[in-house]
Amino acid sequence: KKSFQGPFRACHDLVKPQDFYRNCLSDLCLNNGAKSILCQVLETYAAMCQKHGAMVHDWRTPSGC
């Protein structure tokens, strides 16, 4: 089993990141890579993770949000 690193590592088994990743990519493409879109998607994913009881580490600093 692949072990994930990063701020959302405890969440990947609870909330699958694939849909968020795909939606984020298409939104970023449609908006010329707007940083606010990236931050919005990460914020939504973080909230979902916490709602499911996963520990989320600092994601704002590494992503620049």
Q: What is the pLDDT of residues 31-47, one digit of tens each?
A: 887 888 889 989 999 99
Name the token pair of 62.
Answer: 């590494």
Confidence of residue 3 (pLDDT cuts 50, 70, 90): low
Distances (CA, A) of 54 to 10, 15, 31, 34, 42: 6, 9, 30, 28, 14
What integer is the mean pLDDT of 17-22?
86
Q: Report the mean per-residue pLDDT for the chain.
A: 87
Domain boundaries, the chain: 17-63
